[in-house]
A and B are shown apart, each in its own frame.
Chain A
Amino acid sequence: MSQKHEEDCMTNRDGHGPICLIVNGQSCAVEVDRETPLLSVLRDDLGMLGTRTGCLEGRCGSCTVHVDGRAVQTCTTPVWSVADQRIDTIDAAAPGTLIARVRDAFLDEQAAQCGYCVNGIIMTIASLIAGPAVPDRGHILTVLDERHLCRCGAHPRMLRALDRLLAEAVA
């Protein structure tokens, strides 16, 4: 594994050489097997440890990040498939960004018990309320149930955080 500067970064789509990623606004090149899950690259090569390792079967959602603004489960995403795309993780969410606003709403509601699943849920909610249209609560819940699990039962608090964000979106 190595990380190179942006000028060296040119993803070779034939499967040889480094793969270029744009993670939290920084370009970097990683030399790993191209089928390596994005999760593994984020955590073990780039140190983005706020992106959690969960089920590795694309169900619990704790590994969710944004790829070009879309919420993506990184445990089932081979790194080659996101080359040259913009990847945002919770690790680098600066104050004032949408991800940070969603996180603040979760902290305001103390919407966690163990907190392990929460980062992925924050990323999915942030992607769903990002657009100009007023987000549909029912649709958000459907997506959350398709892509996320919480075992501690912190859902009531997370729903309060979501409702706080939806109220802000309408206001």
Chain B
Amino acid sequence: MMDLPVNLKNNPMLDRWLGVDADGLMVRSGKVELGQGIATAMAAIAASELRVDPVKIRVMPTDTALAPNEGYTAGSFSIEHGGPAMRVAAALTRQVFADAAARHLGAEVDDLVVQDGLFRLPGQNAAVSYAELAGAVDLHVSAFDLGFPRLLGVEDSAVGLRRPDLPSKLSGAAFVQDIRLPGMLFGRILRPTSPNLRLVEFDRAQVASLPGVVSVVVQGSFAGVVARRDDQALAAIAVARKSARWAAISALPKDDDALSWMDVMPIPPRVVVAAEGAAPQGRRLEASFVRPYLLHASVGPTCAVADWRDNGATIYTHSQGVYPLRVQIARVLGLAVESLTLIHAHGAGCYGHNGADDVALDAALLARAVHAPVMVLWSRVDEMTWSPHAAAMRVDLAATLSDEGRITDWECRVESTPHLARPGMGEDPNLLAAAELEGPVPTAPQLAKPPVATPGFSISDRGGDRNARPLYDLPRLTVLHHELPQGPLRSSAMRALGAHLNVFAIEGFLDELAQAAGCDPLEFRLRHMTDPRAVAVIMAAADAADWDENDAGAEGIGRGIAFARYKNTGAYYACVVRVAVDENVRVLSVHGAADAGRVIHPDGLLNQIEGGVVQAASWTLLERAGWSEDGFTVQGWDSYPIWGFRDIPPISTTVIPSREASLGAGECAAGPVAAAIGNAVAHALGVRVRQMPITRDRLMAAIQGEMG
């Protein structure tokens, strides 16, 4: 008998996953909708086993009182881990209902067929639906007691399936920011303008006297205002800021250039891969690649609602991990975990560990102070300064080339700030307000110890070394990772984690090695690749782009190719990018190819890859967050430009048909797109920019460096 999927073993009761009432079927996944369309995919998976139309399945919110605990929705694991659990749970549910249908119809269960949500004997009119059997079935039954079900497998019903959550999102209330509870008040938080400042005091009496202000809450250096209206809370914070005094609690490195400040922190490396044997002789090349801190920069404000009752609360949150967050908030508040219910509500686009967890604690603290439901929204500037940044990184590579043009040795040294500092992953809660409160909870905002295991979420790397190991055939390999436990800015997981810079570095360096070997970049990659699925996506991208090995580039026009398999275990993606370089880099086209195994929701896959291409191009060409003597350098959208409509090139994605196991694909494009842009710029200019973002200044510096 096949083994049950891990997430189902951890949550074996079927009524955690599925439910039926008079209105039909409901599913509850522990994987939450982040804008990536996972709710649609889960409905499609359940529908294919239940044999109902997926649009008739209601996807219920992930609620710690009701839903399975699947840890975080992160790491492109939702389809890989959450999908099989949902599939088996749905198939078991179908079997439980089939037994009830057989009794209802007076038939043998093995003779029944189920189609369009109806059980019947073939050729007969008498039929019974899931909803009609709801009263006769108890889903409070353990999967362990039922055994492994017969899986019906994928139907093509998800082809053309539209996302059921979009019509309401495109017309009315749909997001956590739209929740309106009776008697709900609005809170805003007063936070510093520099990463090294702490609040000392402000004129509380003045703020308390402002229109609409219900309470001024101060605990340690945590300070918030609760008001009847959100605009009143905002106005009160503006007044509080005028009288606020701040104190520096640490010094900032003078320069926010990632190349300089990282080197002053001596951190012993973690050996990810150790080389064996003596280093071979040959021609040796070296290069360093850098990425600054980046921002999630979601369009919607970080938000949570806490509804405080007696000695506990219900918290509505757009967190990626309601179960782990519940534990950490309970810990900070000194409450039993059971006294908190966390309910996931949709937020604006989430690309990783943003401020969603922090604001949930903010809301809980304010709601506890006023014993009423409180919504807290973050300001744009708080959003772009105090939510965790994407880690800053540097990658140093060295390789040896044989006379035959093969790589015989590869050394990689990664330096990064933390990529995996989610609440519950380390010793500290890593919730912003927890570090501001006075009290017994550990207050260091960053991660000091390696992450602990979280149900349904296995961590095979530390984020900084994600994709640091090339998938190519390298006879001798060394990978070291230096992780700075506390960088100047708060950092944690953002889409693709270290893979963005690691793939940019690996694939950029491969082009440098190919050039040194006098070899076409496509040919050089194929020379070092034996994984047939990797070869297939590389060839598919090259074919889609009409790759021409005799294209000499220059005249400001160039093309680059790059490949990665996300995490070396997820989806395969390769692309060819064409660019025009004048004062800036303009992307002319992106021809991509992906192998994500068996595809659950084809349009969802394409949407994720298209979005990943656009976002990664924006990171690579425009984005940078840092600090100066005056504090955070980003103060809002004007100081953090991102790609817009006129930047969008034609983007194509060839999806390789596959019946292999489904592979997470939401993050697969980021690294290859960045690298292909870098390679295309080098092809266009004849010089390489190894530091992101590839801006006008960096282009000029690279050209002058070559000439000088």
Answer yes or no: B598 CB below 8 A from chain A CBs.
Answer: no
Chain B residues within an 8 Å CB radius of A118: 169-170
Q: Are B610 and A54 in contact (CB-based, < 8 A)? A: no
Answer yes or no: B637 CB below 8 A from chain A CBs.
Answer: yes
Interface string of B639-658 (1 = CB under 8 A from A): 00011111010010000000
Complex CA distance for A37 and B565, rounded to whole angstroms: 48
Answer yes or no: B35 CB below 8 A from chain A CBs.
Answer: yes
Q: Are A149 and B35 in contact (CB-based, < 8 A)? A: no
Q: Are B613 and A153 in contact (CB-based, < 8 A)? A: yes
* A126-157 residues at the B interface, CB under 8 angstroms: 141-142, 144-145, 148-157
Chain B residues within an 8 Å CB radius of A148: 644-645
Chain B residues within an 8 Å CB radius of A164: none
Q: Are A153 and B644 in contact (CB-based, < 8 A)? A: no
Q: Are B615 and A153 in contact (CB-based, < 8 A)? A: yes
From B20-28, B346-354, B433-441, B566-574, the one touching the partner chain is B346-354
Chain A residues within an 8 Å CB radius of B180: 47, 49
Question: Would you give the shortest CB distance from A64 to chain B, in whole angstroms?
Answer: 12
- Given the interface pairs A113-B607, A119-B170, A145-B644, the reply to whether A156 lies near B380 with Cβ below 8 Å is no
Q: Are B162 and A151 in contact (CB-based, < 8 A)? A: no
From A2-10, A15-23, A103-111, the one touching the partner chain is A103-111
- Given the interface pairs A141-B645, A156-B614, the reply to whether A40 lies near B231 with Cβ below 8 Å is yes
Sampled A-B contacts (28; CB under 8 Å): A50-B171, A52-B175, A53-B377, A54-B299, A54-B300, A55-B301, A57-B637, A90-B170, A91-B172, A107-B170, A113-B36, A113-B608, A114-B349, A114-B350, A115-B165, A116-B175, A118-B170, A122-B170, A145-B644, A151-B296, A151-B299, A151-B348, A151-B351, A151-B615, A153-B615, A155-B643, A155-B645, A155-B648
Q: Are A157 and B610 in contact (CB-based, < 8 A)? A: yes
Given contacts A53-B377, A156-B614, A159-B645, 19 further A-B contacts (CB under 8 A): A44-B230, A53-B177, A54-B300, A55-B380, A56-B301, A56-B380, A90-B170, A90-B171, A91-B172, A93-B171, A103-B170, A106-B170, A107-B162, A112-B163, A112-B166, A115-B166, A116-B298, A116-B300, A153-B610
Question: Would you give the shortest CB distance from B616 to chain A, in whole angstroms?
Answer: 9
Complex CA distance for A142 and B644, rounded to whole angstroms: 9
Answer yes or no: B534 CB below 8 A from chain A CBs.
Answer: no
Question: Would you give the shortest CB distance from B609 to chain A, in whole angstroms?
Answer: 10
Closest to B34 in A: A114
Answer yes or no: A60 CB below 8 A from chain B CBs.
Answer: yes
Chain B residues within an 8 Å CB radius of A116: 35, 169, 175, 298-300, 347-349
Answer yes or no: B297 CB below 8 A from chain A CBs.
Answer: yes
Q: Are B35 and A114 in contact (CB-based, < 8 A)? A: yes
Complex CA distance for A113 and B300, rounded to whole angstroms: 13
Complex CA distance for A150 and B637, rounded to whole angstroms: 12
Q: Are B644 and A157 in contact (CB-based, < 8 A)? A: no
Complex CA distance for A36 and B211, rounded to whole angstroms: 13
Closest to A143 in B: B645
Complex CA distance for A90 and B613, rounded to whole angstroms: 29
Chain A residues within an 8 Å CB radius of B174: 50, 115
Chain A residues within an 8 Å CB radius of B346: 114
Interface size (A, Cβ < 8 Å)? 49
- Given the interface pairs A37-B231, A114-B348, the reply to whether A49 lies near B172 with Cβ below 8 Å is yes
Q: Are A110 and B166 in contact (CB-based, < 8 A)? A: yes
Complex CA distance for A53 and B176, rounded to whole angstroms: 11
* Residues in B lying within 8 Å of A, measured CB to CB: 34-37, 162-163, 165-167, 169-175, 177-178, 180, 211, 229-231, 234, 296-301, 346-351, 377, 379-380, 603, 607-608, 610-615, 618, 636-638, 642-646, 648, 651
Complex CA distance for A67 and B612, rounded to whole angstroms: 35
Complex CA distance for A44 and B351, rounded to whole angstroms: 29
- Given the interface pairs A115-B169, A118-B169, the reply to whether A144 lies near B607 with Cβ below 8 Å is no
Listed residue (A49, A50, A113, A145) with the most chain B CB atoms within 10 angstroms of its CB: A113
Q: Are A110 and B646 in contact (CB-based, < 8 A)? A: no
Chain A residues within an 8 Å CB radius of B230: 40, 44, 53
Chain A residues within an 8 Å CB radius of B638: 59
Q: Are A62 and B172 in contact (CB-based, < 8 A)? A: no
Question: Would you give the shortest CB distance from A19 to chain B, in whole angstroms?
Answer: 14
Complex CA distance for A45 and B167, rounded to whole angstroms: 24
Chain B residues within an 8 Å CB radius of A33: 211, 231
Q: Are A110 and B349 in contact (CB-based, < 8 A)? A: no
Q: Are A55 and B170 in contact (CB-based, < 8 A)? A: no
Listed residue (A40, A62, A115, A155) with the most chain B CB atoms within 10 angstroms of its CB: A115
Complex CA distance for A156 and B350, rounded to whole angstroms: 19
Answer yes or no: A29 CB below 8 A from chain B CBs.
Answer: no
Chain B residues within an 8 Å CB radius of A71: none
Question: Would you give the shortest CB distance from A129 to chain B, in whole angstroms?
Answer: 15
Answer yes or no: A72 CB below 8 A from chain B CBs.
Answer: no
Complex CA distance for A40 and B300, rounded to whole angstroms: 15
Q: Are B615 and A110 in contact (CB-based, < 8 A)? A: no
Q: Are B172 and A114 in contact (CB-based, < 8 A)? A: no
Chain A residues within an 8 Å CB radius of B347: 114, 116
Question: Would you give the shortest CB distance from B481 to chain A, in whole angstroms?
Answer: 29
B648: contacting residue among A93, A103, A117, A159, CB under 8 A: A159
Complex CA distance for A166 and B262, rounded to whole angstroms: 51
Complex CA distance for A60 and B177, rounded to whole angstroms: 16
- Given the interface pairs A56-B379, A116-B349, A144-B645, the reply to whether A151 lies near B169 with Cβ below 8 Å is no
Answer yes or no: A158 CB below 8 A from chain B CBs.
Answer: yes
Complex CA distance for A143 and B229, rounded to whole angstroms: 32
Chain A residues within an 8 Å CB radius of B377: 53
Q: Are B169 and A112 in contact (CB-based, < 8 A)? A: yes
B301: contacting residue among A54, A59, A157, CB under 8 A: A54
B299: contacting residue among A47, A106, A117, A159, CB under 8 A: A117
- Given the interface pairs A52-B177, A103-B171, A110-B163, the reply to whether A115 lies near B613 with Cβ below 8 Å is no
Complex CA distance for A52 and B637, rounded to whole angstroms: 17
Complex CA distance for A149 and B636, rounded to whole angstroms: 13
The 10 closest A-B pairs by CB, nearest first: A114-B35, A153-B614, A153-B611, A116-B348, A114-B349, A115-B169, A49-B173, A145-B644, A59-B637, A50-B172
Closest to B603 in A: A110
Question: Would you give the shortest CB distance from A107 to chain B, in whole angstroms?
Answer: 6
B636: contacting residue among A44, A50, A57, A152, CB under 8 A: A57
Complex CA distance for A107 and B231, rounded to whole angstroms: 33
Complex CA distance for A60 and B379, rounded to whole angstroms: 13
